[in-house]
Amino acid sequence: MQVSRGPKLTIEAPPGQVSQQREKKTSHTRLILLVVFLCVAAGTYFFFNKHEKKEAKPKRSAVVTLAEATVRDVPEQIHSIGNVVPLQQVSVKPRIGGRVVNVHFTEGQLVKKRDLLFTIDPRPSRAALMQAQSDVEKQEAMVAQAKAAIIKDEAATEQVKATLKRDVALAKQAERDAQRFEFLANAGAVSQMDRETRETRMESTNATVEAGQANIANAQAQVTVDRANLKNAYAQLEAAKANLQNAKIQMGFTTVNAPIDGRTGHILVLKGNVVRADEDILTTIVQTAPIYVELSVPQEQFRKVQECADKGVLSVRATRSNGQVLATDGKVTFIDNTVDNTTGTVKLKAIFDNKDKALWPSQYVDVVMNLDSIRNAVVVPTQAVQTGQKGQYIWIVHPDKTAHMVPIKVGPAIDGVTAILSGVKAGDQVVTDGQIQLAEGTKVKVTEPVP
């Protein structure tokens, strides 16, 4: 059975009733917002109240390691980087040209001065030496010949002088005879012929005397020539001897010897090669004992270095970068006379015995120069010294176990400790580990250092 439905009817509420419904809905929303706000406010209150309670709890003590400041003598030191320099370094070159016929050493060998290193073909030099010896012998013969000529001509001169002396006597006798016969002839005692004969004899003897005088002059001139020849022969002999000496020297240059004690480098010219005089380098030799270390010190510290050097208390130690000691017996032997304008440093040289060959040429080493010592200095472990924006400081723990920051002035450091010039006294407990946890007045808990 079907029931027919009629049209739906819509009944509208009066205007006043609708307004009341809207106001009721708005009040409900406001109530919800108020509840939410109160919940948020309560949560915020409880959160901050809980945080404040946590902050009010006592802080935990900082765990630190302590060390006691002690007293000891601390040497003042200057640290620098040094370069090892050989005392002598020689490039060995040949003094004559020729072919290398033998090498008498191995690379890197320790050699002594005058040890034989190379031999250059000696045959040309030997031939020149023999020729020079022959020239000397020839010139010695020329000298002997010149001496003999002088002796001969001097004897001839003496003979001419003796003859002249006799002729002069005969001439005088002939002159007297001529004068006597002239008187007798005038008196008629002798003939005119006898007179003329005596005059002729006188003229003849005078001519003989003049000839004898000329012969003496010639003989003396010959002796002078002979003496000049002897002088020339001596000069030629000296020149020949000089050539002989030069030939001997050149012969000596065929063997190349070590000019110094030291260690050889690479063999740069092998056997069979031809070398040029004073040009080709055969090898190098460096002296390794003793040896220099060159270093530089700041100009601000130079005066102290100079004073200690004058007192003889300046010592130098060379180490590797890892702290391994290489040599401890260094002595400053050279101080430069000017300051390097580009670096503001003064160059020094220290010499080491280097008997164990620990220092090697061109090696870089750490250099420590020991100056005067600071007597009875307060020292702390170096790790206790901290650096901040206002300078260096140390944390000191008082008897009440609170930490306090103390500004300090530091001195030299050695063997893991640093001298404190001001700010710390002997017996103070300084923090060596755990500084990062500390603030002024922080309570600390002391632990033993980790071995």
pLDDT tens profile 369-410:
888 788 889 999 999 999 988 899 999 999 999 999 999 998
Q: Is pLDDT larger for residue 374 or for residue 56?
A: 374
Spatial CB neighbours of 281, under 8 Å, sequence gap ≥ 6: 91, 92, 93, 268, 269
Alpha carbon distance 86, 287 (integer Å): 6
User: What pLDDT digit, counting tens, does each position of 348-377 carry?
Assistant: 999 999 999 999 999 999 998 888 788 889
Under the banding of pLDDT at 50, 70 and 90, the label for residue 45 is low
Contact 84, 361 (CB under 8 A): yes
Alpha carbon distance 341, 345 (integer Å): 8
329 has pLDDT over 90: no
Spatial CB neighbours of 451, under 8 Å, sequence gap ≥ 6: none
DSSP per residue over 34-91, as a string? HHHHHHHHHHHHHHHHHHHHHHTSPPPPEEEEEEE-EEEEEEEEEEEEEEEEES-EEE
User: What pLDDT digit, counting tens, does each position of 166-184 carry?
Assistant: 878 888 888 888 788 777 7
54 has pLDDT over 70: no
Per the structure block, which two tokens stand in for 255?
Answer: 């063997």
Which domains are delineated in the chain? Answer: 70-83+288-447 (2.40.30.170), 93-121+254-286 (2.40.50.100), 123-251 (1.10.287)
Q: Please, which residues bridge with residue 380 across strands?
A: 418
Averaged pLDDT of the chain: 85
63 has pLDDT over 50: yes
Residue-level pLDDT at 414: 81
Name the amino acid, one letter, at 4: S
Under the banding of pLDDT at 50, 70 and 90, the label for residue 5 is very low
185 has pLDDT over 70: yes
Q: Is pLDDT larger for residue 209 or for residue 118?
A: 118
Burial (Cβ within 10 Å: 0-12, 13-18, ≥19) of residue 421: middle
Name the amino acid, one letter, at 304: K
Beta strand spans in 93-226 (E): 98-103, 110-111, 116-120
DSSP per residue over 335-391, as a string? E-SS-BTTTTEEEEEEEE--TT--S-TT-EEEEEEEEEEEEEEEEEEGGG-EEETTE
Residue-level pLDDT at 11: 41
Across 262-273, average pLDDT:
94
Q: Please, which residues bridge with residue 121 across strands?
A: none
Beta strand spans in 159-300 (E): 255-257, 262-264, 274-275, 283-286, 291-298
Alpha carbon distance 172, 194 (integer Å): 18
Across 65-77, average pLDDT:
89
Across 295-313, average pLDDT:
86
52 has pLDDT over 60: no
Across 278-300, average pLDDT:
93
125 has pLDDT over 60: yes
Under the banding of pLDDT at 50, 70 and 90, the label for residue 48 is low
